[in-house]
Amino acid sequence: MDMASATIDMASAGQVPMDPMDLGVAIFMWSLMCILMMTPSALPMVFTFGKVTRQLDFHSHAILVGLFAITYLAVWAAFGAVAGATEWLLDQHGILLNGQLQNRAMADALLVVSGLYQWSALKNFCLSKCRSPLGFLLEHYRSGYWGALRVGALHAIFCLGCCWAVMLLAWVGGAMNLLWMLALTLLISAEKLLGVGLRIARASAFAFLGLGVFDIAPLLQN
């Protein structure tokens, strides 16, 4: 049996041949998406870190800020790589199509999980670390190049703890849906940057729970 015949047989059986190239594309796109979505809300922390290093550290200011930013983005790129690989795997089994869940029950469940997490103590703790750049640095700052790497990674971990559930909602509205992804980016930025960010996080919890419980997820999809 030639390759074309095998592909047709697998397609008729509801299976798609696994293509390593597609895996690489999914990992790259998710990593890039995470970096683009998280950069706006991370800028205040980067600027504050830069100001602190000018006052407390004798090492190269530009290198310290660069190490901090690169480490932060690297952690999110790693999360994107895991999400991209997961998306590729789920796509092979027909659970996702073009970055969107095809099962309404799974989409509703993801909304409910995200809503519950938005209201959790862990979410609140991580969000508090992200909302106060100066407070975070006063508690966790370390001098030197290794210190910049450590602080950048630690901030990224808190940020990941704050936003992972919202990021995975990309699979509800569709990772290829630009309006949906923009809405999630604005939510993440509002939580961290606005004075009423904590209230916005709590309001989004009720919104996600309502969408999931009342099975409104299909209305979000393309």
Separation CA 167–CA 80 (nearest Å)? 10
Does a structural domain hold residue 12?
Answer: no
What is the reported pTM?
A: 0.85
Burial (0-12, 13-18, 19+ Cβ within 10 Å), 66: middle
Does a structural domain hold residue 7?
Answer: no
Does a structural domain hold residue 176?
Answer: yes
Q: Is 104 helix (H, G, I), strand (E, B) or coil?
A: helix
Residue 122, domain extent:
19-220
Does a structural domain hold residue 63?
Answer: yes
Residue in 161, 148, 154 with CA at minimum distance from that of residue 64 = 148
Extract the tokens encoding 180. Answer: 């949906």
- Domain tally for the chain? 1
Looking up tokens 């916005």 gives: 200
Does a structural domain hold residue 200?
Answer: yes
pLDDT in tens, the chain (222 residues): 443 444 334 344 444 545 667 899 999 999 999 999 999 999 999 999 989 888 876 667 788 999 999 999 999 999 999 999 999 999 988 899 889 998 888 999 999 999 999 999 999 999 999 999 999 999 999 888 999 999 999 999 999 999 999 999 999 999 889 999 999 999 999 999 998 989 999 999 999 999 998 876 555 655
Extract the tokens encoding 206. Answer: 């009720």
